């Protein structure tokens, strides 16, 4: 019996993909799967085609707007897309994201403190 | 610890990896070791070697902590990780293993030439040499300098503060500075200890400092031993 050996060219993307969790199981409806992820307060990433079908406010999620896109596997259709939208559970947002607005507010407080003479 | 921005200005890459144990949100995670059950594991207070990125997920299912489980039928502990090697993480500067405010010291002896700051607490043990010192009140409020040497309660700088210090002026100092690699987190792995000597701890490099009051000062970090840089 003979075997044909085919050399696989691993790229950085394919190494990442090989390590990634499987995601939605075959036959599972996307809506139910995303509901389950939302119940666990996990980050949800959706491709441009799926993102319009998700209402983040209904499940207390917040869309990441400072980064309009992220590279991720869509939780709806399981396609890796460089233009996914990222949704973070609202109560957890400030624990994982430091936005320019937050840093701007910090700088404003420092300026006020310097004017007062004490930070 | 929070994801702030990317050095390259691109888009974050979010990967969902399998955990080897219970995982906290906003902490650095590492590549799992051989025979670990999952694909990533928890960092330690002084160990970020072979890091994967920042965990941006909360391990909660239906209000209960979602933990790694080997029970058939249990939820798989999968967490979202920002894996960009150039991700900049913003963490609060604190003191002590459990994370209280950084030391707010007071000038004990006035210095007119601005080349030394003499306070009431030791800056030599732990040694704050090569760290940073900044005033939070007085004539020099908001001004910071690199510490170039220390002795007991005296910190010396080479670029003088613009004004003479006066007894009662308050200042803070920290054992971190731009470009230096090595920081130590608190036991919850979320904040950075400023009370240790510079380059003490895990492989993360300081890229920026936000120097404010003792309760509100921050450090920006880039992971220095990240597996996707292809250098480890």
Phi, psi (5° rounding) for residue B150? -135, 155
Q: Which letter, b or e, does each residue of B188-222 get, where b requires 16 or more Cβ atoms within 10 Å of its Cβ?
A: ebbbbbbbbbbebbbbbbbbebbbbbbebbbbbbb
At residue B51, the pLDDT reads 94
User: Distance between CA A57 and CA A36 in Å, rounded?
Assistant: 16
Q: Enumerate the domain spans of chain B.
A: 2-84
Interchain CB contacts (distance < 8 Å): A and B? 118
CB B101 within 8 A of CB B95: yes
At residue B70, the pLDDT reads 80
At residue B63, the pLDDT reads 56
Residue numbers of A between 22 and 61 with CB closer than 8 Å to B: 23, 39-43, 45
pLDDT tens-place string over residues B140-176 = 999 999 999 999 999 999 999 999 999 999 999 999 9
CB B55 within 8 A of CB B79: yes
Measured in angstroms, the CA of A117 and the nearest CA of chain B are apart by 6
Q: What strands, in cross-sheet order, belong to the sheet with B132-135? A: B104-106, B170-174, B132-135, B144-146
Tell if the CB–CB gap between B212 and A113 is shorter than 8 Å: yes
Query: Which of B12, B16, B137 faces A20 most closely, judged by CB atoms?
Result: B16
Any CB–CB contact under 8 A between B65 and chain A? no
Angle value at C-alpha B224, between B60 and B135, nearest 5 degrees? 90
User: Distance between CA B8 and CA B191 in Å, rounded?
Assistant: 24
At residue B230, the pLDDT reads 61
Cβ neighbours of A110 in B, within 8 Å: 142, 210, 212
Q: A87, A64, A61, A66: which is closest to A76 by C-alpha?
A: A87
At residue A47, the pLDDT reads 96
Flag residues of chain B having pLDDT under 50.
Answer: none
Predicted confidence (pLDDT) at residue A1 exceeds the cutoff of 80 = no
Any CB–CB contact under 8 A between A117 and chain B? yes
ipTM over 0.90: no
pTM: 0.87
At residue A86, the pLDDT reads 95
Q: B35, B44, B40: which is closest to B57 by C-alpha?
A: B40
User: Distance between CA A109 and CA B136 in Å, rounded?
Assistant: 12
Q: Enumerate the domain spans of chain A.
A: 12-116
pLDDT tens-place string over residues A61-87 = 999 999 999 999 999 998 899 999 999
């Amino acid at each position: 019996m003979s075997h044909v050996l085919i050399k696989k060219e691993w790229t950085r993307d394919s190494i990442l993909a090989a390590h990634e969790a499987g995601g939605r199981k075959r036959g599972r409806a996307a809506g139910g799967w995303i509901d389950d992820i939302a119940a666990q307060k996990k980050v949800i990433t959706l491709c441009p085609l799926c993102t319009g079908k998700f209402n983040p406010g209904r499940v207390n999620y917040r869309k990441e707007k400072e980064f309009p896109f992220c590279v991720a596997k869509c939780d709806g259709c399981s396609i890796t897309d460089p233009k996914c939208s990222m949704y973070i559970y609202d109560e957890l947002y400030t624990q994982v994201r430091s936005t320019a607005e937050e840093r701007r507010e910090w700088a404003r407080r420092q300026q006020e403190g310097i004017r007062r003479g004490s930070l | 610890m929070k994801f702030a921005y990317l050095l390259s200005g691109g888009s974050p890459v979010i990967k969902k990896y399998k955990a080897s144990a219970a995982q906290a949100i906003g902490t650095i995670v590492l590549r799992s070791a051989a025979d670990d059950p999952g694909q990533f594991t928890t960092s330690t207070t002084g160990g970020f070697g072979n890091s994967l990125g920042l965990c941006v997920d909360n391990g909660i299912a239906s209000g209960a902590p979602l933990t790694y489980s080997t029970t058939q039928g249990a939820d798989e502990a999968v967490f979202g990780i920002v894996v960009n090697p150039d991700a900049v993480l913003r963490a609060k500067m604190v003191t002590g293993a459990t994370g209280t405010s950084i030391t707010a010291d007071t000038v004990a002896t006035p210095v007119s030439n601005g080349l030394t700051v003499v306070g009431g607490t030791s800056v030599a043990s732990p040694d704050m040499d090569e760290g940073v010192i900044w005033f939070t009140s007085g004539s020099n409020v908001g001004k910071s300098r690199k510490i170039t040497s220390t002795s007991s309660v005296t910190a010396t700088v080479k670029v003088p503060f613009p004004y003479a210090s006066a007894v009662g002026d308050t200042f803070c100092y920290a054992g971190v500075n731009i470009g230096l690699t090595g920081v130590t987190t608190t036991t919850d792995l979320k904040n950075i200890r400023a009370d240790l000597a510079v380059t003490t701890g895990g492989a993360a490099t300081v890229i920026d400092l936000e120097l404010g009051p003792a309760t509100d000062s921050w450090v920006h970090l880039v992971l220095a031993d990240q597996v996707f840089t292809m250098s480890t």
